[in-house]
């Protein structure tokens, strides 16, 4: 297989596995691992060392550097300062404590020397944000425990790698045969140079962006090239110091308050998707099953120790004295899946340890695979059950986020509650949400795109968005911005009043989908004022869609709850089938009503 064919295969397998995982609602890391193992050690179609030759190791190094830079971009210190005390403790105390406990566990259970154990212990701090996110969506946790797990994963991701990088630097210098004075000097020079280059590069690039010295269309290419250059320059002075430099560079840019948020966000998403997929396929395909045979029963004891001892102590000890309820502490302590960064960094750092004479470094890559598989499978299939057992599950009901607190929105929210769907109305105008509060409808007073919403609204619980404020431009902005997170097929908005005029028409990539009938905000408010109502209708054994249509000829169907428990607004081109829905959401005139209205459920 030629290098070009190999790179194409890696791309197809990596992105294809992520897409299939999204369709099947499975952890993508498991499918990527299986894909790499099948084409690599199982079938022998693709062996990275053989098919990519000398570019394989440098390719992995650059990819890991960009992944770590992306991790640094997530570490916004201002957000950390505003989080709960529990999150800060999980970072400030939990991360170093986890490193020490994991290092000790590895040395005791497996007899690994301190060099390899300390490096791997740093990597073990990382809980895998790319793995946590889909697990949280599937488990439907309550906001606070989900927030704790999510923020711990995001913030500890670069911190754990920083610990591992610093320890690796110490090991490489110590094992290099230098005297104590030379080792200290080389270490301080390398780390100091890398830190200075990383910080200064981040500050310089941020200043260039702020002053408009880089055009918008070149920001992502410039960012990509500079990250690669910083990694190459610093790594030439001291091996692996480039990883420290790019991580610090990302942290500096994350806290520079850049206006180019969309470009950086796009870079982060694309880099994470492509490079994480590629690195994981490459590492899985390069796995030698013979190396797995080097792992004996002691490796199993170590994995059990990490899951049953290290992780609980890493969480429970720092959270002593906090106001976090014990159930939430236990849930966080029992959930610690490891992810892609751990696999990539372990393989790369393990090779470096072997090169300087630490033979046990060869165990890091296979041990990382075993640990990732064990934790992902264990937590992926048990998180929902543990959450329900502790009373921390959201109940598994679908959620709809409604932007705008008009009378139509309140009516819509009440109807959603009747068909067992959880609504949330968000509006920055307090007067607009007063009626919703009186009707016991969940509300958020503030801008859904603002920073406050990031801390008080857990989007994981809301799969569908309807932008229905009186401001068409704001609706379009909300639908466009949140469409990147929720998915464009899950985002809807009321029809813009001037959309029929060609000079006011917007391109299809902006805004959300229109409701059936394409009503404007004025149309909906006018209908509610004339007595129209949004109603929730649950179908029963002798009362289905056809019976409802016969008795309600003037009503229109806005959305439906599928028999799988998923809510969706009805697409204007979609024809709802009788066996498709267990409940519907209708817009009916005052005299037109379903004869068997739904019974309100407890919320």
Which pLDDT tens digit goes with each residue over 359-388? 888 888 888 888 888 887 888 778 878 888
CA 28 to chain centre: 12
* Residue 117 neighbours by CB distance under 10 Å: 24
With a cut of 60, say whether residue 80 has pLDDT above it: no
Pick 492 or 279 by higher pLDDT.
492
Task: Tell me the C-alpha distance between 156 and 173, whole Å.
Answer: 26
Q: Give the number of domains in the chain.
A: 2
If asked whether residues 465 and 578 sit together in one domain, one would say yes
Average pLDDT over residues 473-486: 84
> CB-side exposure of 72: number of CA atoms within 13 Å?
25
Task: Tell me the C-alpha distance between 350 and 363, whole Å.
Answer: 7
Pick 347 or 526 by higher pLDDT.
526
Task: Tell me the C-alpha distance between 200 and 194, whole Å.
Answer: 10
Residue 541: burial class (beta carbons within 10 Å; 0-12, 13-18, 19+): exposed
Question: So what's the pLDDT on residue 77?
Answer: 64
Q: CA separation (Å) from 291 to 117, 217, 365, 369, 370? A: 17, 46, 9, 11, 12
Average pLDDT over residues 177-189: 67
User: Is residue 17 domain-resident?
Assistant: no
Question: So what's the pLDDT on residue 600?
Answer: 45
What is the spatial order of strands in the sheet that 533-538 belongs to? 533-538, 581-588, 556-562, 567-569
Task: Tell me the C-alpha distance between 147 and 150, whole Å.
Answer: 5
User: Is residue 39 domain-resident?
Assistant: no
β-strand partners of 540: 543
Question: So what's the pLDDT on residue 103?
Answer: 92
User: Is residue 1 domain-resident?
Assistant: no
**Mean pLDDT lowest for which of 15-24, 123-132, 420-429?**
123-132
Helices and strands in the chain, H and E counts: 26, 10
With a cut of 80, say whether residue 172 has pLDDT above it: no
pLDDT band at 100 (very low <50, low <70, confident <90, very high): very high
Average pLDDT over residues 130-151: 71
Average pLDDT over residues 3-29: 83
- Are 210 and 258 in contact by the 8 Å Cβ rule? The answer is yes
Task: Tell me the C-alpha distance between 390 and 330, whole Å.
Answer: 9
Percent of the chain whose predicted confidence (pLDDT) is above 70: 84
Residue 91: burial class (beta carbons within 10 Å; 0-12, 13-18, 19+): buried
Phi-psi region for residue 591, left (φ > 0), alpha (ψ -120 to 50) or beta? alpha
Q: What are the DSSP calls for 41-58, one per residue?
A: IIT-S--HHHHHGGGHHH
Question: So what's the pLDDT on residue 200?
Answer: 92
β-strand partners of 536: 585
With a cut of 80, say whether residue 161 has pLDDT above it: no
Pick 549 or 99 by higher pLDDT.
99
If asked whether residues 369 and 405 sit together in one domain, one would say no
Which pLDDT tens digit goes with each residue over 33-74? 788 888 988 888 888 888 888 887 788 778 877 777 876 776
User: Is residue 595 domain-resident?
Assistant: no
**Which of residues 389, 412, 428 is at a domain's end?**
389
If asked whether residues 102 and 218 sit together in one domain, one would say yes
Compute and round to an integer the Cα radius of gyration of the chain: 27
**Mean pLDDT lowest for which of 46-55, 345-354, 588-597?**
588-597
Which pLDDT tens digit goes with each residue over 530-575? 888 888 888 887 778 888 888 888 888 888 888 878 888 888 777 8
Task: Tell me the C-alpha distance between 375 and 458, whole Å.
Answer: 25
Average pLDDT over residues 86-92: 80
User: Is residue 14 domain-resident?
Assistant: no
- Are 533 and 590 in contact by the 8 Å Cβ rule? The answer is yes
Task: Tell me the C-alpha distance between 123 and 205, whole Å.
Answer: 29
Strand pairing category for 581-588 and 399-403 = unpaired
**Which of residues 366, 389, 412 is at a domain's end?**
389
If asked whether residues 421 and 374 sit together in one domain, one would say no
Q: What sign does the CA torsion over 288, 293, 298, 303 have?
A: positive
Phi, psi of 513 (to 5 degrees): -75, 150
User: Is residue 427 domain-resident?
Assistant: yes
Selection from 406, 294, 282 nearest residue 344 by Cα: 282
Task: Tell me the C-alpha distance between 513 and 518, whole Å.
Answer: 9
If asked whether residues 293 and 151 sit together in one domain, one would say yes
Task: Tell me the C-alpha distance between 206 and 418, whole Å.
Answer: 50
Question: So what's the pLDDT on residue 175?
Answer: 72
DSSP class of residue 520 equals B
**Mean pLDDT lowest for which of 266-280, 335-349, 365-379?**
266-280
Question: So what's the pLDDT on residue 597?
Answer: 46
If asked whether residues 323 and 428 sit together in one domain, one would say no
Residue 5: burial class (beta carbons within 10 Å; 0-12, 13-18, 19+): exposed
Residue 213: burial class (beta carbons within 10 Å; 0-12, 13-18, 19+): exposed
Helix-, strand-, coil-residue percentages of the chain, each rounded to 5? 65, 10, 25
First to last CA, the chain: 58
Strand pairing category for 443-445 and 464-467 = unpaired
Q: Evaluate if pTM is beyond 0.85.
A: no
Give me the domain span that covers residue 512.
Answer: 399-588
If asked whether residues 445 and 369 sit together in one domain, one would say no
If asked whether residues 354 and 448 sit together in one domain, one would say no
> CB-side exposure of 407: number of CA atoms within 13 Å?
12
Task: Tell me the C-alpha distance between 382 and 384, whole Å.
Answer: 6
With a cut of 70, say whether residue 180 has pLDDT above it: no
Which CATH number do you get for residue 493?
Answer: 3.40.50.720
Question: So what's the pLDDT on residue 101?
Answer: 93
Task: Tell me the C-alpha distance between 546 and 210, whole Å.
Answer: 60
Q: What sign does the CA torsion over 328, 331, 333, 337 have?
A: negative
* Residue 550 neighbours by CB distance under 10 Å: 8
What is the spatial order of strands in the sheet that 443-445 belongs to? 443-445, 422-427, 399-403, 464-467, 491-493, 513-514
If asked whether residues 460 and 537 sit together in one domain, one would say yes
Which CATH number do you get for residue 74?
Answer: 1.20.1530
User: Is residue 35 domain-resident?
Assistant: no
With a cut of 50, say whether residue 599 has pLDDT above it: no
User: Is residue 574 domain-resident?
Assistant: yes
Question: So what's the pLDDT on residue 498?
Answer: 73
If asked whether residues 173 and 293 sit together in one domain, one would say yes
If asked whether residues 259 and 111 sit together in one domain, one would say yes
Contacts of 546 (CB under 8 A, 6+ apart): 578
Task: Tell me the C-alpha distance between 497 and 462, whole Å.
Answer: 27
**Mean pLDDT lowest for which of 129-138, 416-425, 464-473?**
129-138
Average pLDDT over residues 147-156: 74
pLDDT band at 313 (very low <50, low <70, confident <90, very high): very high
Percent of the chain whose predicted confidence (pLDDT) is above 90: 8
Which pLDDT tens digit goes with each residue over 325-340? 888 889 888 888 887 6
pLDDT band at 594 (very low <50, low <70, confident <90, very high): very low
If asked whether residues 553 and 413 sit together in one domain, one would say yes
Question: So what's the pLDDT on residue 158?
Answer: 64
β-strand partners of 583: 538, 561
**Which of residues 389, 412, 427 is at a domain's end?**
389
């Amino acid at each position: 297989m030629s290098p070009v064919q190999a790179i194409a295969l890696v791309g197809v397998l990596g992105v294809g596995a992520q897409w299939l995982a999204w369709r099947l609602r499975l952890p993508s890391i498991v499918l990527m691992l299986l894909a790499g193992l099948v084409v690599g050690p199982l079938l022998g179609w693709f062996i990275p060392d053989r098919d990519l030759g000398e570019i394989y190791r440098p390719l992995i190094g650059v990819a890991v550097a960009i992944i770590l830079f992306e991790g640094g971009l997530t570490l916004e210190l201002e957000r950390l300062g505003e989080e709960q005390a529990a999150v800060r403790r999980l970072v400030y105390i939990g991360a170093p404590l986890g490193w020490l406990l994991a290092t000790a566990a590895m040395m005791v259970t497996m007899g690994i020397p301190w060099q390899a154990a300390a490096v791997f212990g740093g990597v073990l701090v990382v809980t895998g944000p790319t793995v946590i996110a889909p697990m949280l969506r599937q488990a439907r946790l309550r906001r606070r425990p989900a927030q704790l797990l999510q923020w711990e994963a995001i913030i500890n991701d670069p911190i754990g790698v920083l610990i591992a990088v610093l320890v690796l630097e110490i090991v490489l210098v110590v094992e290099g045969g230098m005297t104590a004075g030379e080792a200290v000097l080389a270490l301080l020079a390398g780390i100091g140079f890398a830190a200075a280059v990383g910080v200064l590069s981040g500050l310089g690039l941020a200043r260039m962006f702020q002053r408009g010295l880089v055009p918008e269309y070149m920001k992502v290419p410039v960012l990509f090239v500079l990250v690669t250059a910083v990694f190459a320059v610093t790594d030439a002075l001291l091996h692996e110091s480039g990883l420290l430099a790019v991580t610090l560079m990302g942290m500096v840019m994350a806290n520079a308050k850049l206006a180019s948020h969309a470009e950086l966000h796009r870079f982060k998403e694309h880099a994470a998707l492509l490079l994480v997929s590629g690195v994981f396929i490459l590492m899985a395909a390069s796995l030698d099953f013979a190396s797995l045979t080097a792992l004996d029963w002691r490796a199993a004891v170590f994995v059990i120790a990490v899951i049953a001892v290290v992780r609980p102590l890493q969480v429970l000890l720092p959270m002593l004295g906090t106001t976090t309820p014990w159930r939430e502490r236990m849930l966080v302590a029992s959930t610690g899946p490891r992810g892609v960064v751990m696999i990539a960094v372990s393989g790369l750092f393990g090779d470096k340890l072997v090169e300087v004479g630490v033979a046990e470094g060869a165990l890091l890559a296979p041990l990382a695979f075993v640990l990732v598989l064990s934790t992902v499978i264990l937590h992926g299939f048990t998180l929902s059950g543990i959450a329900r057992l502790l009373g921390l599950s959201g109940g598994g009901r679908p959620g709809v986020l409604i932007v705008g607190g008009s009378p139509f929105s309140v009516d819509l929210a009440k109807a959603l509650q009747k068909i067992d769907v959880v609504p949330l109305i968000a509006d920055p105008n307090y007067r607009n949400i007063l009626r919703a509060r009186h009707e016991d409808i969940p509300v958020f007073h503030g801008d859904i795109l603002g920073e406050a919403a990031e801390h008080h609204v857990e989007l994981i619980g809301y799969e569908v968005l309807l932008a229905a404020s009186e401001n068409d431009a704001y609706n379009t902005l909300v639908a466009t911005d949140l469409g990147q997170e929720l998915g464009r097929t899950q985002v809807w908005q009321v029809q813009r009043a001037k959309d029929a005029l060609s000079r006011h028409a917007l391109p299809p990539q902006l805004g959300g989908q229109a409701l059936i009938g394409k009503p404007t905000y004025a149309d909906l408010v006018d209908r509610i004022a004339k007595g129209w109502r949004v109603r929730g209708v649950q179908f029963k054994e002798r009362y289905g869609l056809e019976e409802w249509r016969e008795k309600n000829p003037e009503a229109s169907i806005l959305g439906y709850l599928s028999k799988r428990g998923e809510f969706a607004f009805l697409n204007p081109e979609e024809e709802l089938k009788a066996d498709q829905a267990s409940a519907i959401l209708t817009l009916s005139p005052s005299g037109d009503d379903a004869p068997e209205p739904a019974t309100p459920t407890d919320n």
